[in-house]
Amino acid sequence: MRRPLRALLATALGIAALTLAACGGDDGDGDPQTLLDEAAAKPIPNAEVDLSVDADMPGFPVLGSRLLASANGPWTADGPGGTPAFDWRAVLRAGGQTFPARVSAVDGGLYVDFMGRFYEAGDELTSKVPFAEVEPGPDGASLEQLGIDPERWLTDVEVSDGEEVGGDDTKLITGTVAKRAVIEDLLGLVDPEQLEGAEGLPAPSEGNLGRVADAVRQARVEINVDDDGYPRRVFAELRFVVPEDLSEEVAIERGRIVFDLELDAIGETTVSIEPPFDPDPLSSLFDFAGAIFGIEEISDLWRPIDAGGGGS
């Protein structure tokens, strides 16, 4: 079961990546595109991170039609040992169940504390988590380095007065979403070998990227930038419709995915954490999750339950 469950993680990262893809008048100072470019490239030394993903996909056979994931806590580009570190409280709600956990990174390792037991990710998986593996410069790490490159995602950029974030005034950046460019960038966060190794899950080829972009009917990206030029919030929303030629293979007909990332206390945040003693391999937690949801093949996630007698 280990290989399918690792592929399941790759799928989850892919979904999260796609949600980021959905990441007028001009009241801003200077050129709107310049404001966006500089915000995307501005180094962030540390911050309080508040991240959430809300996926509403009626007909999802295994995890239920509503999946909510959230994580919040401190992150720093220069933690113990000179590597990025974070200590987040995370909650996953799926299949009518709630799974609280603690996810942390320190000294180049990635750990999960679930039900009082610690698990450690291998180097290969850790290298796929930008907040843990990014190589920051002397002043921190930018959104671009964290895998979020909004300067490619928006065209016809506009700036207007935005809402306060963490008590600070912001400018709101919007524009026309370049869906293909965003999807192409963010699917790069998923390990292609894991994708190709998952039965029923196509690798992100040129043709598949085009089909994914065509399936997205509505996409919205909003980025709030404060007076110091820091990106403070990235909000994204995707609404999609599954092509008719896949209706017999995929239980989902349509869906809505919302991604919301907020950064606060930039430059004022520290992370105090040490690696856990003698953690178990994270693969054993994946196997446990597979047993809970009854997943043996990655394609079980989206196939109709009655298709082919429940799978094959």
Instruction: Report the distance separating Cα 188 and Cα 209, nearest Å.
Output: 11
Q: Which pair of tokens denotes residue 312? A: 């094959």
Q: Count of CB atoms within 10 A of residue 220's CB?
A: 14
> What does pTM read for this prediction?
0.77
The answer to whether position 200 is within a domain reads: yes
Nearest CA among 90, 78, 86, 137 for reference residue 109: 86
The answer to whether position 31 is within a domain reads: yes
The answer to whether position 306 is within a domain reads: no
Q: Name, in order, each residue with C-beta under 8 angstroms of 98's C-beta and a sequence gap of 6 or more.
A: 91, 92
Tell me the CATH number at 200.
2.50.20.20
Domain hosting 110: range is: 2-294
Q: Name, in order, each residue with C-beta under 8 angstroms of 29's C-beta and a sequence gap of 6 or more.
A: 35
The answer to whether the beta carbons of residues 223 and 150 sit under 8 Å apart is yes
The answer to whether position 188 is within a domain reads: yes
The answer to whether position 309 is within a domain reads: no
Q: Name, in order, each residue with C-beta under 8 angstroms of 254's C-beta and a sequence gap of 6 or more.
A: 57, 58, 239, 240, 241, 242
Q: Which amino acid is at 312?
A: S
Q: Is 108 helix (H, G, I), strand (E, B) or coil?
A: coil
DSSP for 142-205 reads -TTTTT--TTTTEEEEEEEEEEEETTEEEEEEEEEE-HHHHHHHHHTTS-HHHHHTSTT-----
17-62 pLDDT per residue, tens: 444 433 344 444 568 999 999 999 999 999 999 999 888 877 665 6
The answer to whether the beta carbons of residues 34 and 246 sit under 8 Å apart is no
The answer to whether position 312 is within a domain reads: no
Q: Is 82 exposed, middle or buried (0-12, 13-18, 19+ CB in 10 A)?
A: exposed
The answer to whether position 64 is within a domain reads: yes
The pLDDT value recorded for residue 228 is 97
Percent of the chain that is helix, strand, coil (3-state, to 5) = 30, 35, 35
The answer to whether the beta carbons of residues 282 and 121 sit under 8 Å apart is yes
The pLDDT value recorded for residue 308 is 42
The answer to whether the beta carbons of residues 132 and 110 sit under 8 Å apart is yes
Count of structural domains, the chain: 1
**What is the chain's pLDDT, residue by residue, as a tens digit (312 residues)?**
444 444 444 444 454 444 443 334 444 456 899 999 999 999 999 999 999 988 887 766 566 678 899 999 999 998 877 789 999 999 988 877 888 999 999 988 899 999 899 999 877 666 667 677 677 888 999 988 887 787 887 889 999 999 999 999 999 999 999 877 766 665 554 444 444 334 444 455 556 666 767 788 888 889 999 999 999 999 888 788 877 766 555 556 778 888 899 999 999 999 998 999 999 988 777 666 655 555 555 445 545 545 444 443
Name the residue with tokens 């003698």. Answer: 278
The answer to whether the beta carbons of residues 88 and 64 sit under 8 Å apart is no
The answer to whether position 97 is within a domain reads: yes
Q: Is 18 exposed, middle or buried (0-12, 13-18, 19+ CB in 10 A)?
A: buried
Q: What is the number of alpha carbons within 13 Å of residue 127 lying toward its C-beta? A: 4
Instruction: Report the distance separating Cα 101 and Cα 91, nearest Å.
Output: 6
Nearest CA among 286, 311, 284, 289 for reference residue 300: 311
